Amino acid sequence: MNITRQLARATGLAAALVISAGTAVASEPAASAWTDEQAAAALYAAARTHADDFSRLLQSRGMPRLQDRPALQAILRDGVHGLTQSAVTANRRDTVLVFYHHDGVFLHIWAATAGRVAWARVPLSGDELAQRVAAMHAQLRVPGSARGVTREDADEPAHTQADASALAGAADWLFPAPVAALLDAPGIDRLQVVPWGAIAGVPFGVLPRGARVLADTHAVTVAPSLNDLYAEPVHRAPSPTRPFVIGNPAFAAHSGLARLPGAAREAGAVAALFGTRPHLDNEATLAAVTAQLADADLLYFATHGIVDAADPLDGSYLALAGDDRWPARAIQHARLRRGAIVVMSACDTGRGEVQRAGVVGLARAFQLAGAAEVVMSLWPVDDDATAQLMPRFTALLREGLPADRALQQAMREQRVRTPDPARWGAFTVFSRPVMSP
HSE-up of 221 (CA within 13 Å, CB side)? 27
Average the pLDDT over each of 38-52, 102-116, 214-228, 272-286 and give the range with the smallest value.
38-52
Among residues 114, 121, 128, 100, the alpha carbon closest in space to that of 177 is found at: 121
Stretch 328-343: mean pLDDT: 94
Please report the DSSP string for 329-356 in residue order: HHHHTS-PPTT-EEEEESTTTT-EEEET
Of 10-14, 231-235, 306-310, 361-365, least confident by mean pLDDT is: 10-14
pLDDT in tens, 121-158: 999 999 999 999 999 988 887 554 455 544 443 334 43
Task: Tell whether 190 is covered by a domain.
Answer: yes
Rounded distance, CA 355 to CA 54, Å?
9
pLDDT at position 190: 96
Q: What is the pTM of this model?
A: 0.86
- Residue pair 265/345 in contact (Cβ under 8 Å)? The answer is no
Q: What is the pLDDT of residue 293?
A: 94
Say how far apart CA 25 and CA 31 lie, in whole Å. Answer: 14
DSSP state of 342: E
- pLDDT value for 435: 73
Percent of the chain with pLDDT over 70: 81
pLDDT grade for 311, boundaries at 50, 70 and 90:
confident
Q: How high is the pLDDT of residue 149?
A: 47
Select the highest-mean-pLDDT range: 70-84, 148-162, 394-408: 394-408
Q: Are residues 178 and 262 in the same domain?
A: no
Select, from the ranges 70-74, 283-287, 351-355, 416-420, the one with the highest average predicted confidence (pLDDT): 283-287
Residues 175 and 259 in one domain: no
Is residue 390 a part of any domain in this protein?
A: yes
My answer on whether 208 and 249 are in the same domain is no
**Residue 352 pLDDT:** 62
Summarize the confidence of residues 417-436 as an average pLDDT: 89
- The answer to whether 356 and 226 are in contact (CB under 8 A) is no
In this structure, the dihedral spanned by the alpha carbons of residues 169, 161, 194 and 10, taken in order and rounded to 10 degrees, is 60
Least confident of 14-23, 321-330, 388-397: 14-23
In a shared domain, residues 211 and 268: no
In a domain, 142, yes or no: no
Residue 301 belongs to what H/E stretch?
A: strand 298-302
Same domain, 327 and 377: yes
Flag whether 150 is in a domain: no
Which is higher by pLDDT, 400 or 227? 400
Last residue of a domain, one of 232, 263, 286: 232
Residue 317: CB partners within 8 Å, gap ≥ 6? 305, 306, 325, 326, 327, 328, 362
Compute the distance between CA of residue 263 and CA of residue 305 in angstroms, rounded to an integer. Answer: 12
Same domain, 191 and 300: no
Tell me the average pLDDT across 94-99.
Answer: 95
Q: How confident is the model at residue 360 (pLDDT cuts 50, 70, 90)?
A: low
Determine the Cα–Cα distance for residues 383 and 208; give it in Å rounded to an integer: 25
Residue 94 has pLDDT above 50, yes or no: yes
191 neighbors 214 (Cβ within 8 angstroms): yes
pLDDT, tens digit, 9 for 90 and up, residues 224-277 = 888 888 887 877 778 999 999 999 999 999 999 999 999 999 999 999 999 999
Is residue 364 within 8 Å of 358, Cβ to Cβ? Answer: yes
Contact in structure between 251 and 319 (CB atoms under 8 Å): yes
Whether residue 270 sits in one domain with residue 200 = no
| Among candidate residues 302, 258, 306, 307, the one with its CA nearest the CA of residue 284 | 302
Say which CATH number the domain at 72 has: 3.30.420
The Cα–Cα gap between 221 and 229 comes to 12
Question: What pLDDT is attached to residue 120?
Answer: 92
Which sign does the torsion angle of CA 367, 373, 374, 377 carry?
Answer: positive
SS3 183: helix
Domain contains 70: yes
- Which of helix, strand or coil describes residue 282? coil
Q: Are residues 390 and 405 in the same domain?
A: yes
Please indicate, yes or no, if residue 137 is contained in any of the structural domains. Answer: no
Residue 125: its pLDDT value, please?
A: 94
For residue 353, pLDDT over 90 is answered with: no
Q: How far is CA 193 from CA 68, 89, 224, in A?
A: 21, 12, 9
Report how far residue 389's alpha carbon sits from residue 379's, in angstroms, rounded to the nearest whole number.
Answer: 15
Grouping H, G, I as helix, E, B as strand and the rest as coil, residue 212 is strand
| Domains identified in the chain, total number | 2
Q: What is the dihedral of CA 77, 83, 87, 89, to 10 degrees?
A: -130
Residues 242, 204 share a domain? no
Res 73: pLDDT: 84
The predicted pLDDT at position 5 comes to 44
Report yes or no on 395 lying in a domain: yes
Same domain, 81 and 197: yes
Answer whether residue 159 is part of any domain. no
What is the average pLDDT score of the chain?
83
pLDDT surpassing 80 at residue 287: yes
68: confidence class by pLDDT, cuts 50, 70, 90? low
Domain that holds residue 308: 237-435
Q: Please tell me whether residues 203 and 58 are part of one structural domain.
A: yes
Task: Write down the pLDDT at residue 151.
Answer: 45
In this predicted structure, the answer to whether residue 164 has a pLDDT above a threshold of 60 is no
Residue 16, pLDDT > 70, answer no
Position with higher pLDDT, 88 vs 17: 88
Using the 3D structure, point to which of 232, 248, 273 is the last residue of a domain.
232
In sequence order, what DSSP letters do the residues of 33-93 get, joined into one string?
G--HHHHHHHHHHHHHHHHHHHHHHHHHTTPPPP---HHHHHHHHHGGGGGGGSHHHHH-T
